[in-house]
């Protein structure tokens, strides 16, 4: 599903260049559930952004589902992203003036699906998350766990092959974190590859493998059991 070889990435700001990823090699099979751990600033989000075709890399190779991902046009990148990837973030990234149903439906808007139809589909996904009764509520009327379930429904609605979650439980209490992890595990059990960045050991232990990143290098890959 994912093959990354010798990937390097630097951020250039003015005269300065910061070498963030220093030759990353990683293979992730379809249907795997892995966690990525590492200190703040070690390059986890940078790696996730490259995996999700939100950002380019400088050298190396990245294949996603057999497609070579490198310096794609914005249009091609968006197309592949919409078809392949769902994102979940620590801060949920919901649109504050849209209700839960409209937030879930948003990816279908970009696929030019008419409003009635996309709202119907969004309701099915909200139903799967146990949120039918909350469909017409705005994000600020939802708890953190509910917001993250809306975000997960939004990530799923495009039928992705891989879900990239950047600290999905980072803003949740421990009980809600476990509920969100249950949900991510159920989704993974349907065959969707799952990649989760986390700071928390008990979250990482619920994935099959933990990839440790330190200062832009993968230092260890541990199989959890
Ligand atoms: P992590 O997610 O592991 O905390 P990041 O991948 O976000 O780390 O960041 C790695 C390093 O790159 C940090 O030093 C961060 O400040 C820097 N960085 C991240 N994004 C940018 C950017 N867009 N421009 C410049 N520097 C960045
Ligand atoms: Mg980060």
pLDDT digit string (tens) for the chain, length 225 residues: 999 999 999 999 999 999 999 999 999 999 999 999 999 999 999 999 999 999 999 999 999 999 999 999 999 999 999 999 999 999 999 999 999 999 999 999 988 899 999 999 999 999 999 999 999 999 999 999 999 999 999 999 999 999 999 999 999 999 999 999 999 999 999 999 999 999 999 999 999 999 999 999 999 999 998
Give 128's DSSP letter. H
Distance 185 CA to ligand 2 centre (A): 22
Residue with tokens 């703040």: 40
Q: Going along the chain, which residue ranges are E strands?
A: 2-13, 16-28, 33-37, 59-64, 67-68, 85-89, 162-166, 193-197, 209-214, 217-223
Query: Residue 111: what pLDDT?
Result: 86
DSSP-assigned beta bridge partners for residue 211? 36, 221
Distance CA 99, CA 75 (A): 28
Query: Residue 4: what pLDDT?
Result: 98
Residue with tokens 């139809």: 117
Distance 20 CA to ligand 1 centre (A): 7
Closest residue CA from atom 24 of ligand 1 = 11
Among 72, 51, 24, 94, CA closest to 196: 51
Query: Residue 67: what pLDDT?
Result: 94
Give the nearest ligand 1 atom to 13 CA. 25
Give the binding-site residues of ligand 1, using a 6 Å CB cut-off.
11, 13, 18, 20, 38, 40-46
Distance 166 CA to ligand 2 centre (A): 7
Distance 93 CA to ligand 1 centre (A): 19
Give the nearest ligand 1 atom to 48 CA. 6
Distance 35 CA to ligand 2 centre (A): 13
Among 87, 60, 57, 85, CA closest to 71: 57
Give the nearest ligand 1 atom to 166 CA. 2
Closest residue CA from atom 17 of ligand 1 = 41
Closest residue CA from atom 23 of ligand 1 = 11
Query: Residue 225: what pLDDT?
Result: 80
Query: Residue 110: what pLDDT?
Result: 85
All domains in the chain, ordered by first residue:
32-40+74-223 (3.40.50.300)
Which tokens sit at 73?
């046009």
Distance 15 CA to ligand 1 centre (A): 17
Ligand number nearest CA of 36 is 1
Query: Residue 143: what pLDDT?
Result: 95
* Residue to mutate (ligand 1; options 39, 43, 50, 216; most atoms within 8 A of CB): 43
């Amino acid at each position: 599903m994912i093959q990354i070889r010798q990937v390097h990435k630097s951020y250039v700001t003015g005269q300065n260049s910061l070498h963030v990823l220093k030759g990353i090699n990683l293979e992730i099979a379809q249907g795997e559930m892995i966690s990525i751990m590492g200190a703040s600033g070690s390059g986890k989000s940078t790696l996730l952004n490259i995996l999700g075709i939100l950002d380019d890399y400088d050298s190396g190779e990245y294949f996603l589902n057999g497609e070579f991902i490198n310096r794609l046009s914005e249009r091609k990148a968006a197309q592949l992203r919409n078809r392949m990837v769902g994102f979940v973030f620590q801060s949920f990234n919901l649109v504050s003036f849209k209700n839960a149903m409209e937030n879930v439906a948003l990816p279908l808007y970009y696929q030019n699906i008419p409003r009635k139809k996309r709202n119907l589909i969004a309701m099915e996904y909200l139903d799967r998350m146990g949120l039918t009764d909350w469909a017409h509520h705005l994000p600020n009327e939802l708890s953190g766990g509910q917001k993250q379930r809306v975000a997960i429904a939004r990530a799923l609605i495009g039928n992705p092959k891989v879900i990239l979650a950047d600290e999905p439980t980072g803003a949740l209490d421990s009980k809600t974190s476990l509920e969100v992890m249950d949900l991510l595990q159920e989704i993974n059990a349907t065959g969707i590859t799952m990649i989760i960045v986390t700071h928390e050991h008990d979250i990482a232990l619920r994935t099959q493998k933990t990839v440790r990143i330190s200062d832009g290098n993968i230092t260890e890959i541990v199989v959890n059991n």
